[in-house]
Chains A and B, each alone.
Chain A
Amino acid sequence: MTLLSYILITPVAGAVITGLAGRVNGLSARMSAMFFMLVGLVLSTMLMITVEGGTLVEKHAWFPALGATFHLEADGLGALMVLLTAIIGVIAVLISWHDINEKVGAFHVWVLLLQTGILLVFMARDMLLFYFGWELMLIPMFFIIGVWGHEDKLYSAIKFFLFTFTGSIFLLLALLYVYFAHAAQTGQYSFDFADLLATKLTGKEQRLIFLGMFIGFAVKVPLFPFHTWLPDAHTQAPTAGSLILAGVLLKTGVYGIMRFVFPLVPVGVAAYTKLGIALSVIGIFYGALAAFSQRDFKRLVAYSSISHLGFVTLGLFVGNASGYQGAVLQMVNHGLATGGLFLIAGILQERTHTRSFEMFGGLWKQMPTMGAFLLFFAMASLGIPGTGNFVGEFYVIAGAFLKKWWLGAVTSMGVLFAAMYSLRVFLATMHGPESVTFKKLPDTNLRENVALFSLVILLVVIGFRPSLVTAPLYWGGDKLVPQKGRSADPIGQPKKEEAFQTPAKDPNLQQKPAQTVYLPGASLRGGEAAL
């Protein structure tokens, strides 16, 4: 048992106890959920500190017959995402304090289980375990949307479920193919990702596997044209659901591409780089344009997510260091900024029972504090320097620019479109003649201010010190990061084939102990290899 297990067990235990507490009354369920979220936050912070500069591994036997192990691992990227999950979890519980009034216990149980699934996805290195976590995320989210959602909740919940589930079937097929291919080559069944990496796959196989895994992850991201579940799910989900969805759930798709697809099938990735870039760029503009003409607050923000996530995947697919770092930054920042916008949408809906821009307008006089927050998050969303979003988008644009100058030019226009819809969010809500419908709405209270302000602080800190986010990417050895030296070359491009070359394809390198481990008692992968 290492920190990884504790982090994983915390929400599970929390779910059980919260479920029991929910039988007493709502408040105790909230308190219990909050307690376990805070414990998770503390543990995640400890993980961040522990992992610094290396990797933390934990491995137990699970299903030996299948070759499945309980293999958790956290490097810098993983620890970062775990921390993000924990932060978002705390805020989610905080913001639903008055938002959720029915079946309070059950709600928090589902939220905690959702955390479990997400954490499992971020930490698992065994593909069966990963897939388990991947599917585990679906069910709680389905119920969170379907039970505590708004007017059209069932439709959205089912749509969400069907889309992501269909996607994950492709993912499963691809994983199983690799699994059996590995077994056929070595005679040993193993779901361990490190083992699967050693599988020799032909170009055609790699392309197929890429497509399968890519569809599975792209639905979750979501990339155009798999995105249509997102606006519905976001719009109908309760505030906490939207927050978690935007904050971390979408990131699992990107994380999957980053962590599993790129190392596993470099040839496939190289073959479909153009496709990935095209879909990302389409997504950027498509989401932004669609967002601009929405009349529903949350729907607008949901479409903006598609646009932002387009930047993330673009950063991945351009295949250089700045694109990659930008992608990770944008992942984190999008979670915080869009999460903030969803919080505000939720606060507004809680007070006004509507999300329609036509009903809002001129609310600044009544809610100056919230106006300031909304202004900040809108500015963050359009990527104003000083917030993390700028750094992320800028890195991605720089990466695209390095790949092809016109790609950078096209992408940068996305920033203009981001400005269009972000300003619209703010102006349509806060500016204009004072709303006739709403008088004397209460401004944000302390609890909401805490939730929003913590997001603001994180965004600003990342905006000024982006290395807090990008430095961990290099902790576990820069396996995942495209080689820095190539793209730092002032003029000249890394060759396409080289860009995704990973040690995985080289059996000699594969055996090399690449990671350091700190905690005693953990299974020492590197150490074993050395012995």
Chain B
Amino acid sequence: MFVHNGIPALWVIPALPALGALIIFLFSKAMSPQTAGRIACGAVGLCFGWVAFCSSSLLGLPSADAHNAPYFHQELWTWLSAGIVQSKVAFLFDRVSMVFTIIVSGVGFLIHLYSYAYMDDDEGERRYFGYLNLFVASMLILVTADNAFFMFMGWEGVGACSFFLIGHYYSKSENCAAATKAFLVTRLGDIFLILGLLLCAKLVGVSFLNLSGFESVKEMEVVKGGWGMSGHALLTIAALLLLAGAAGKSAQLPLQTWLPDAMAGPTPVSALIHAATMVTAGVYLIARFHILFVASGTGMTAVAIVGAATAFYAATCACVQTDIKRILAYSTISQIGYMVLGLGVGAFSLGLFHFFTHAFYKACLFLASGTVIHSLHHEQNIYNMGGLKSKLKGTFAAFLLGSAALAGFPGTSGFFSKDAILWSALTTGFGNPVFYGVGLVTAFLTAVYSFRLIFVVFYGAPRKDIHVHHPSPLLVWPLLVLAFFAVTIGVLNLPGFVGFKSLAWEHFFHPIFGEFQAEPKEGWTHAHEAIFALIGAAVALGGILVSYTLFGPNAKMLPEPAGNIGDVENSTPKPYKSALANFLFHGWGMDQLYAAVFVRPVKRLSMINAWVDKVVVDGVYELIGAIVRAFHSLVVSFQNGRVGRYAMVMLFGVVAVTILVMSIIPR
């Protein structure tokens, strides 16, 4: 049942966590919170085991040639079948899916273990684990579906679970607002995605195995049937729509505003959903549809622009935040911007590689910050921390390693993956020096803000007298595991100039992306690459140095706060004296902009609409009713029991009939 002809049953991958969620929901009243946690961890652990088995089976298959990677494919039943909407409940497990499933189930498993300790004293623990398992199931559907429509099921499922989990601490209304915002903004992206998928379905269908059809659509000059557009234009439209969908889910410009607010959820959720897995769904989508984007050309440029702009935007915002999780959230946006930039310049496998490394170090950072928060009794403002280095040793180690990877400290995984993307941004056919320059500046900012965290949180003197309670081991050792990978995983894709095992990752994905993977243009050599790697390393180290001078133990704090910085909340209008810093603190004012342009008008429209319905539309019927009632009271007044009135009505009738008769009968 589970292994047939050497193909492991793929449906088991999402089914295991789904089963866990089902059990937790069905019997939640009968089980203790601890049992729920154990079931959830067990389900994801089993799932990870099965994923490992599937992966090893896949890797064990002989690779046919450089252009056809082996994959597992399994169809269960027809899901959608109407017109162009054709979709089966079917799973595809190729190398891209493999990478994603490993991260989702592996990192997910560690985060589940961590949650087991983190959520220990929470009243909603059963609910939490149920939704967390459901999330993992949805995410696994997303990355193992064999067609885009079935993928969309997971896509929306993770959005819903993200909504549930952001709103986990439901009694605070700002958490509800954050959850709603996250859901609505991503759903706005999803609408574009739906339209894009429908367009794709109309053009070639959405099965991932048949996407090569986009190449032929490109050739069509003017599409028949009243669409009046060249195939190339249609491809570009489809690509842009998909990009919008990806931007919604992956918090890219201009739909990024939900992610910083989404930090209202429990920290493990932020680690799993809003750092490691769900937000990278957009990367997955673009990687899956790379043929479409490359065929469009313009689409690639758009992707690269969005990625670069987002990376820079979020990095600037991250530099001035005071909430530890918010800093990491902006950092996530920025890092996904890098991935998208990588995809946009044609380095698809490098985008995936950055996803891979980012999942480890960002999950590590989030969990470490969770441990800090947990130890400090839910204090999140970094300026109320300080000097934690000696009190939280394990956590500090993990945080330091994670930050080093995030900052691109030479030798860490983040260094390799980021540097490879920057190299591609400069050298491939889709790249240009502007992208490289933006990426480099962003890398510098990344180093600054990531070490700002280290210096402010772990060094110096404690700024506020908070009792630090010792974290349980389960809150520490998953961090160390992740930190280990965060540092070392870069060996999977050492740069080309290293020589030993270099570009293993790219070669691994070569059969998938094939000729669509953009290679450096003529004239760029390994020597150049080494020089640029040195530049990248220098920038990262310089950033750390700058960070030390700005935020180190002896530095005067910059930018200068307007009041007591420890009291700053995310909604504080002017935390700093500098207007620029305040502008950055509020994410370039985009929240306010959207509130003014979309949210408030829609709310007002809704009120107006309710009024219109009550007064105008219903008013018409009420008017009809009033007229009828007027007739009614007229008629009733004839029937008031007074003989005189009856007689008068009769008289009126006589008069009327007479007039009628006289007018009808000819003289």
Is there contact, CB below 8 Å, between B152 and A402? no
Q: List the A side residues contacting B92 at CB < 8 Å.
A: none
Q: List the A side residues contacting B83 at CB < 8 Å.
A: 320-322, 395, 398-399, 402, 484, 487-488
Task: Determine whether B4 belongs to the interface, using a CB cutoff of 8 Å to chain A.
Answer: no
Q: Say how far A373's CB is from chain B's closest CB, in angstroms.
A: 10
Q: List the B side residues contacting A470 at CB < 8 Å.
A: 81-82
Q: List the B side residues contacting A325 at CB < 8 Å.
A: 82
**Which residue from A372, A408, A431, A489 sits with its C-beta under 8 Å from B167?**
A431
Among B79, B83, B156, find the residue whose CB has the most chain A CB atoms closer than 10 A.
B83
- CB-CB nearest in chain B for A414: B191
Query: What 1/0 flags go to B154-194 for Cβ under 8 Å of A?
Result: 11110010011001001111011001100110011011001
Is there contact, CB below 8 Å, between A412 and B191? yes
Is there contact, CB below 8 Å, between A290 and B610? yes
Task: Determine whether A289 belongs to the interface, using a CB cutoff of 8 Å to chain B.
Answer: yes
* 300-334 of chain A: CB within 8 A of chain B: 320-322, 325-326
A225 and B163 alpha carbons, distance in the complex (Å): 34
Is there contact, CB below 8 Å, between A431 and B171? yes
Task: Determine whether A5 belongs to the interface, using a CB cutoff of 8 Å to chain B.
Answer: no
- CB-CB nearest in chain A for B621: A228
Query: Which label, helix, strand, loop or mixed, suits the secondary structure of the B interface?
Result: helix
Interface size on B, as a range, is 35 or more
Is there contact, CB below 8 Å, between B173 and A432? yes
Q: List the B side residues contacting A364 at CB < 8 Å.
A: 170
Query: What 1/0 flags go to A406-426 for Cβ under 8 Å of B?
Result: 001100110110011001000
A433 and B176 alpha carbons, distance in the complex (Å): 11
Q: List the B side residues contacting A385 at CB < 8 Å.
A: 152-157
A235 and B297 alpha carbons, distance in the complex (Å): 54
Task: Determine whether A63 belongs to the interface, using a CB cutoff of 8 Å to chain B.
Answer: no
Is there contact, CB below 8 Å, between B80 and A289? no
Is there contact, CB below 8 Å, between B176 and A432? yes
Is there contact, CB below 8 Å, between B184 and A420? yes
Task: Determine whether A514 belongs to the interface, using a CB cutoff of 8 Å to chain B.
Answer: no
Q: List the A side residues contacting B249 at CB < 8 Å.
A: none
Q: Say how far B126's CB is from chain A's closest CB, in angstroms.
A: 8
Task: Determine whether A397 belongs to the interface, using a CB cutoff of 8 Å to chain B.
Answer: yes
Is there contact, CB below 8 Å, between B82 and A321? yes
**Which residue from A368, A386, A467 sits with its C-beta under 8 Å from B157?**
A386
Query: What 1/0 flags go to B1-18 for Cβ under 8 Å of A?
Result: 000000000000000000
Task: Determine whether B580 belongs to the interface, using a CB cutoff of 8 Å to chain A.
Answer: no
Task: Determine whether B89 belongs to the interface, using a CB cutoff of 8 Å to chain A.
Answer: yes
Q: Say how far B135's CB is from chain A's closest CB, in angstroms.
A: 13
Is there contact, CB below 8 Å, between B77 and A465? yes
Q: Which of B195-203, B268-276, B473-481, B642-650 contacts A (4 or more CB under 8 A)?
A: B195-203
A515 and B445 alpha carbons, distance in the complex (Å): 73
Is there contact, CB below 8 Å, between A402 and B84? yes
Q: Which of B32-40, B220-228, B429-437 contacts A (4 or more CB under 8 A)?
A: B220-228
Q: List the A side residues contacting B29 at CB < 8 Å.
A: 369
Q: List the B side residues contacting A289 at CB < 8 Å.
A: 602, 605-606, 609-610
Is there contact, CB below 8 Å, between B227 and A405? yes
Interface size on A, as a range, is 35 or more
A464 and B89 alpha carbons, distance in the complex (Å): 8
With A419-B187, A490-B84 as contacts: A427 and B167 at CB distance below 8 Å: yes
Q: List the B side residues contacting A488 at CB < 8 Å.
A: 83-84
Q: List the A side residues contacting B609 at CB < 8 Å.
A: 286, 289-290, 293
Task: Determine whether A375 belongs to the interface, using a CB cutoff of 8 Å to chain B.
Answer: yes
Task: Determine whether B617 belongs to the interface, using a CB cutoff of 8 Å to chain A.
Answer: yes
Q: List the A side residues contacting B663 at CB < 8 Å.
A: none
- CB-CB nearest in chain A for B186: A419
With A372-B25, A385-B157, A386-B157 as contacts: A434 and B171 at CB distance below 8 Å: yes
Q: List the B side residues contacting A427 at CB < 8 Å.
A: 167, 176, 179-180
**Which residue from A294, A375, A491 sits with its C-beta under 8 Å from B227?**
A491
A227 and B603 alpha carbons, distance in the complex (Å): 22
With A384-B157, A402-B84, A412-B195 as contacts: A433 and B78 at CB distance below 8 Å: no
Residue pairs across A and B with Cβ atoms less than 8 A apart, 30 shown, are A228-B613, A286-B609, A289-B602, A290-B610, A293-B610, A322-B82, A322-B83, A325-B82, A362-B170, A369-B29, A375-B164, A379-B160, A385-B154, A385-B156, A394-B80, A408-B195, A415-B191, A415-B194, A416-B184, A416-B188, A419-B187, A423-B184, A427-B176, A432-B171, A432-B176, A433-B172, A470-B81, A488-B84, A491-B202, A492-B225
Measuring CB to CB, which residues of chain A are less than 8 angstroms from any residue of chain B? 163, 224-225, 227-228, 286, 289-290, 292-294, 320-322, 325-326, 362, 364-365, 368-369, 372, 375, 379, 384-386, 390-391, 394-395, 397-399, 401-402, 405, 408-409, 412-413, 415-416, 419-420, 423, 427, 430-434, 464-467, 470, 484, 487-493
